[in-house]
Structures are given as structure tokens and as C-alpha cells.
């Protein structure tokens, strides 16, 4: 869901740095990364053309940009749905919404008979934890499957469309506390940030540093990603 402050921003073409090596596919050997920790971070409603790694020289996303330089950046990626719940259900199951059943926010849920990435990694000996920032991903909608801890305590304050949400710094604090207790087993951590979603009210100094509150929210989330 894009607010007026987002849709008023002219859409800029995406530009990937020519310094990055290009490839049509990634070489991978099954099992080569067995036992490595896995961290999944998702940012709700974040336009790629507002990020430095996609050519926005005015952005303030140094942590995302660093990940892009040192990892793999996709020049073209399309979500399976336009809303939060079905998109995340697809990420965690590998299925399209018409297959996994969680086709829209609030009105559907992911059935328990669908195996999630968290369940697969848990079966492989991983400790699993999720920290989400919006009621739209509450455990009642089925995404807690396979997670040893599923932290969806986002509070009662409702944002746009009535969905309660938690600020990125609070979600990061909880995720870091959980990470500090993981020592002896590989872990799978999912952290979900909701701040770029409407309504936009970034904290200081991001509110003062950006003409558009939307950009301030993205910069705030980037900072919290760096902390994580």
C-alpha cells in the first residue's frame, strides 16, 4: 500500500553499478553451506529506486549498499503479491499465493500442512527465531510454523488500515538479545521491518535530515539493519 507521499515521488530508473560483476546464474553446490547461520531480513513497502545500490545518489542507505557491494544484487526481482502476508508466505514456502492459500492480509492464513523454510532448517538442527514488526504477520496467520520463537508483540497502536506496528529499533533490540544467546547451534533468524509502510513518522534525526518522511523511514531502517 503506497501513501500519497510515496506515489508523488517520480519513479527513477534502476541503475546497477558497472563496477559489480554480472552473471546470469549463481554457482551453488548442494550442501556446500551446510551448518552456516542464515539471516533473512525483509523491508515492507521499500521502493528500490530510493536505495543507493540501485542508483539513487541522494539516498542514505549505507548498510544496504554495503551488502549489495559485498554480496549479490538482483537487477530484476518481482514479488509474488502486492501485500505483506502472501508475499512473506511465498518467501518462506517457495509457493505462489494460489498454492499456499494466504492470498491476502488478515482474511487468509498459511495452512499448517505447508512446510516452511523454518521447519526445514529446524529439522536440520537449526535454532530458529522470527521478529516481525506488524500485526499483519501475527502468528494467527500461520507464519510461525517452524520457529522456536516467533516474536509478534507489536503493541496495540494501529497505523494505516488498522494494523498495529513496532518501530525498527524495538524489533532490532529483541533480535539482538536473541542472537546473543545463540552459541552452540547454527541459527535461522528472520527480521521483518515495517517502518517504510504508511503512515510515515521517522524518529530524529532522520525526520529532520530528509525532506520526505518516507526516505527518513528507509534511512532509519537501514541504520537498524547496520546495528543488527
Contact 16, 23 (CB under 8 A): no
In this prediction the pTM is: 0.92
Question: Which of 89, 119, 91, 118 minimizes the C-alpha distance to 188?
Answer: 118
Distance CA 49, CA 16 (A): 11
Q: Would you give the DSSP letter of residue 127? A: E
pLDDT tens track for 183-195: 889 999 999 999 9
C-alpha cell at 153: 508483540
φ/ψ of 65, rounded to 5, equals -65, -40
Q: Give kind and range of the element (H or E) at residue 151.
A: strand 149-151
Q: Which one-letter DSSP state was computed for residue 116?
A: P
C-alpha grid cell, residue 93: 514456502
d(CA 62, CA 131): 23
Q: SS3 for 43?
A: strand
Q: State the 10-residue block means of pLDDT for the chain, 228 residues long.
A: 60 87 88 93 94 92 96 90 95 95 86 95 96 96 97 75 85 97 92 92 95 94 98
What's the burial of 48, exposed, middle or buried (CB within 10 Å: 0-12/13-18/19+)?
middle
End-to-end CA distance of the chain: 26
pLDDT for residue 50: 94
Q: Which grid cell sits at 130?
A: 522470527
pLDDT at 76: 84
Question: How far apart (Å, rounded) are the C-alpha atoms in residues 146 and 164?
Answer: 24
| pLDDT at residue 1, rounded to an integer | 44
pLDDT at residue 184, as a whole number: 85
10: which 3 cell numbers?
517520480
What confidence tens digit (pLDDT) does each residue in 118-135 have?
A: 999 999 999 999 999 999
Amino acid at each position: 500500500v503506497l501513501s500519497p507521499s510515496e506515489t508523488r515521488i517520480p519513479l527513477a530508473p534502476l541503475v546497477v553499478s558497472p563496477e559489480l560483476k554480472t552473471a546470469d546464474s549463481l554457482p551453488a553446490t548442494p550442501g556446500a553451506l551446510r551448518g552456516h547461520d542464515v539471516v533473512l531480513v525483509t523491508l515492507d513497502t521499500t521502493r528500490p529506486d530510493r536505495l543507493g545500490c540501485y542508483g539513487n545518489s541522494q539516498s542514505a542507505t549505507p548498510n544496504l549498499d554495503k551488502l549489495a557491494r559485498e554480496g549479490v544484487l538482483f537487477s530484476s526481482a518481482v514479488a509474488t503479491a502486492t501485500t505483506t502476508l502472501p508475499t512473506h508466505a511465498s518467501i518462506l514456502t517457495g509457493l505462489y499465493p494460489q498454492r499456499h492459500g494466504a492470498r491476502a492480509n488478515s482474511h487468509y492464513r498459511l495452512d499448517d500442512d505447508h512446510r516452511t523454510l523454518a521447519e526445514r532448517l529446524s529439522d536440520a538442527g537449526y535454532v530458529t527465531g522470527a521478529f516481525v514488526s506488524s500485526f499483519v504477520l501475527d502468528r494467527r496467520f500461520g507464519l510461525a510454523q517452524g520457529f522456536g520463537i516467533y516474536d509478534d508483540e507489536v503493541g496495540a497502536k494501529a497505523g494505516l488500515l488498522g494494523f498495529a506496528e513496532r518501530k525498527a529499533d524495538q524489533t532490532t533490540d529483541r533480535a539482538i538479545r536473541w542472537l546473543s544467546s545463540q552459541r552452540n547451534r547454527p541459527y535461522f533468524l528472520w527480521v521483518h521491518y515495517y517502518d517504510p509502510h504508511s503512515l510515515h513518522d521517522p524518529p530524529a534525526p532522520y525526520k529532520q535530515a530528509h525532506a520526505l518522511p518516507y526516505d527518513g523511514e528507509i534511512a532509519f531502517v537501514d541504520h537498524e539493519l547496520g546495528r543488527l
